Amino acid sequence: MSVPLGVLDQSPVVSGRSPAEAIAETVELARLAEELGYRRYWLAEHHAIAALADPSPEILVARVASATSRIRVGTGGVLLPYYAPLKIAEQFRMLEALFPGRIDLGLGRAPGGDPRTALALKDGEYPGAERMPQQVRDLVGFLDAKLPPGHPYAKIRAQPAGGTSPEIWILGSSDYGGALAAQLGLRFAFAHFISAFGGDVVSRAYRQQYEPSEREPAPHSLVCAFVICAKTRAEAERLAASVDLRRLHMAKGIDAPVPTAEEALAYRYTREERIYVDQQRARLVHGDPSEVREKLLALRERFEADELMAVTITGDPESRRTSYRLVAEAFA
């Protein structure tokens, strides 16, 4: 491809379909992405959300990597505050042993669900992200067997040991993630699909403030956008109706599957609801292939990003596959 492209898959559960079907569709889409020439395929972690089926991306990474042969597979991301760095290091050393040179470890700090679920995942003591910088340092040390001599766990070796290690990415939708990635000398991915404004400033600051590391001598970044591509702009607009209603559901605390296009188009918005969903359109790149390509290239230039990544959710699996196919063809 003329620009490295990746896929972020949240394993969406569409109305009328089951979570098991959503996971099967993730595996099928990964095979297609590899055929189309995408460089990366990332799985997202979410908990107790009816519209998203994947709470365990590290498990799904193994399934997707075994169903493909070339594409890099990883997490977008593991929500590190929930976990002990050694355990994550062990999981990803195992994945690297199984699929050497193909594993990405993306790390996030969001709860990935509602506050009650966050407490349940940590047995009532969710710590937040205050310790994340040290957690990342420890995780890198475990993965590379390079914890400093004075570290209390310096003699522990994460297994299985090996000559290669996963790529590590810090994920973010604010200046926190970019600053942390720059400070630690790691790769950075900005979630434009979450935060539409200010990300270009964060991404450029990451490159300007970058402190080279043994892992990454130079900065490397990507920007991930919500993308819906169709053969015509009118069709892309029709498909976007599902996203509009899904985002309204999120804002109102309605835990429901992703609406089909038909369900979304039948919904009657109040004036206030319409204003809200129109504002959220800033997080969406949609249109026909040439329009989407132009918008994504402009986004990449603004962010000074090395790579682009697309997350696509529509009200049916076939239009989602078509969107990724058309984007790939536009960048071929």
Torsion of CA 79, 33, 239, 326, to 10 degrees: 140
What size, in residues, is the chain? Answer: 332
What is the band of 125 on the pLDDT scale with cuts at 50, 70, 90?
confident
Which pLDDT score, from 0 to 100, does residue 330 have? 97
- Please report whether residue 243 resides in a domain: no
245 and 264 in contact (C-beta within 8 Å)? yes
Q: Tokens for 202, please give them.
A: 């964060």
Q: Tokens for 113, please give them.
A: 């669900």
Arithmetic mean of pLDDT over the chain: 96
State how beta strands 221-229 and 5-9 pair: unpaired
- State how far the alpha carbon of 23 is from the alpha carbons of 63, 128, 135, 323, in Å: 10, 29, 30, 19
Domain that holds residue 289: 5-230+285-330
Rounded to whole angstroms, how far apart are CA atoms 320 and 313? 6
In this structure, how many other beta carbons lie within 10 angstroms of the beta carbon of residue 159? 11
- Please report whether residue 103 resides in a domain: yes
pLDDT at 157 over 90: yes
Which pLDDT score, from 0 to 100, does residue 197 have? 95
Model pLDDT for residues 264-300, shown as the tens digit of each residue = 999 999 999 999 999 999 999 999 999 999 999 999 9
CA angle 77–246–230, rounded 5-degree value = 85
- By CB atoms closer than 10 A (0-12, 13-18, 19+), residue 214 is exposed
Number of domains in the chain: 1
- Please report whether residue 276 resides in a domain: no
- Please report whether residue 89 resides in a domain: yes
What is the band of 94 on the pLDDT scale with cuts at 50, 70, 90?
very high
Model pLDDT for residues 219-263, shown as the tens digit of each residue = 999 999 999 999 999 999 999 999 999 999 999 999 999 999 999
- Please report whether residue 272 resides in a domain: no
- Please report whether residue 144 resides in a domain: yes
- Please report whether residue 156 resides in a domain: yes
Q: Tokens for 196, please give them.
A: 């539409």
Model pLDDT for residues 7-50, shown as the tens digit of each residue = 999 999 999 999 999 999 999 999 999 999 999 999 999 999 99
Which pLDDT score, from 0 to 100, does residue 1 have? 75
Q: What's the CATH code of the domain at 79?
A: 3.20.20.30
Query: Quick check: pTM over 0.75?
Result: yes
pLDDT at 210 over 90: yes
- Please report whether residue 266 resides in a domain: no
Torsion of CA 193, 76, 47, 176, to 10 degrees: -70
pLDDT at 129 over 80: no
Rounded to whole angstroms, how far apart are CA atoms 104 and 143? 12
The residues with which 40 forms a beta bridge, in sequence order, are 6, 72
